Amino acid sequence: MVTLDAIHAAAELLRAGDTVAFPTETVYGLGADAANPLALRRVFEAKGRPADHPLIIHIADASQMAEWGRDIPEVAWQLADAFWPGPLTMILQRGKRVLNEVTGGQETVGLRVPDHPVATALLREFGGGIAAPSANRFGRVSPTRAQHVRDELGAHVGMILDGGACRVGLESTIVSLVKGNVVLLRPGGIQVAAIEDVLLQSIMLTQPVGQAVRVPGALAAHYAPATPLELHSAETLCMRGFRLAAEGRNVAVLVLGEADKCGSGYCAYVPMPGQPDEYARVLYSTLRRLDSAGFDHLLLEAPPDTMPWLAVRDRLRRAAQGALQI
Ligand code: TXA
Ligand code: MG
């Protein structure tokens, strides 16, 4: 429960240049005043994030888009109408007042209107834009509960607003709308098909050659749990688990649907939801739980290679850090 007093106090901290971790529908963000360079520096320090990796500015509603972006194309208004508040981040040409500390020196800015009552209340009370990356150490799994933030960043955050478990569970979909193209930079909480239904056109799934955009989420080793993790097809999963267990490893096997797929007691079997939205909701908290449960190897059954699973598969692939088997 977050009281109005807590929202007031959090907005005061933001005005004073401090950081506030807050819930969104996707994951928890580590927020700072987007117009205060010193406050932004605190965010980078707390995360251990390189200064040239840009932050998303969170705004209360679409009317603030023009304050931070410029030359806003019609498609941006269409997407804002359809998906804001919600898990969609739009990359636009940056407006004059956007600080280099936010964009990492790039000419573009990421904007999002989050869909969570605590985030909305905080944005309204604060009045300005809140720059916020996910509230985890750089390269680690995003937090989906306040306790995750406490565990990982506790002492480095001015205040943590506890809004319970995040509904979506993985990060927003990021689309770039600069230079007349609609390009998917990161699959996430909004399905590609939903965006295409609104725009009545296909969107590009990879960035066009020659338009380098820095997205740390695009580094192979991003979103990684601490325990080694491998992805396997249903066919190779059980054999791999059996082999590792025979070597004396303490293995957890995350299977889609039924837990006893491999029909043996050699590993710990963790059933995962067979539907992409539900899988996404529990993925990061499951990885954190297994990380602290003392397993020395995680094996995951790869979800189907279909568009609804795109975001989940993207995060799993990164978490596997190259041990990819799908
Ligand atoms: O769901 C989310 O998007 C969460 C919540 C807190 O809103 N935020 C989040 O922020 O995931 P972060 O910083 O962990 O990931 C944002 C991604 C980064 O990979 C960053 O590089 C990219 O967005 N990004 C931000 N501004 C950009 C820009 N101008 N051009 C290209 N990529 C950008
Ligand atoms: Mg992040």
Report how far ligand 2's centroid is from the alpha carbon of 217 (Å).
7
Closest CA to 176 of 135, 208, 200: 208
Ligand closest in space to the Cα of 30: 1
The stretch 204-218 carries a mean pLDDT of 54
| pLDDT tens-digit readout, 272-308 | 999 999 999 999 999 999 988 989 899 999 999 999 9
Percent of the chain whose predicted confidence (pLDDT) is above 70: 91
Taking the centre of ligand 1 as the mean of its atom positions, its distance from the CA of residue 126, in whole angstroms, is 21
Q: What pLDDT is recorded for position 208? A: 45
- Cβ-contact 291, 221 below 8 angstroms: no
Task: Name residue 200's amino acid.
Answer: L
Class of domain 4-199: alpha beta
User: Rounded mean pLDDT of the chain?
Assistant: 91
Tell me how far the alpha carbon of residue 248 lies from the centroid of ligand 2, in angstroms: 34
Amino acid at 256: L
Helices (H) and strands (E) in the chain, counts: 11, 14
The pTM for the full model equals 0.93
Burial class (CB in 10 A: 0-12, 13-18, 19+), 303: buried
Fold (CATH) for 229-319? Rossmann fold (3.40.50)
Question: Within the chain, which residue ranges are assigned CATH 3.90.870.10?
Answer: 4-199
The protein residues having their C-beta less than 5 angstroms from ligand 2 (an ion) are 134
Distance CA 18, CA 129 (A): 14
Tens digits of per-residue pLDDT, 172-196?
Answer: 999 999 988 899 999 999 999 999 9
* Torsion on CA atoms 316, 318, 321, 326, rounded to nearest 10: 50
Q: How far is CA 187 from CA 126, 173, 176, 259, in A?
A: 29, 5, 12, 28
Query: Could you tell me where in the chain the CATH 3.40.50.11030 domains are found?
Result: 229-319
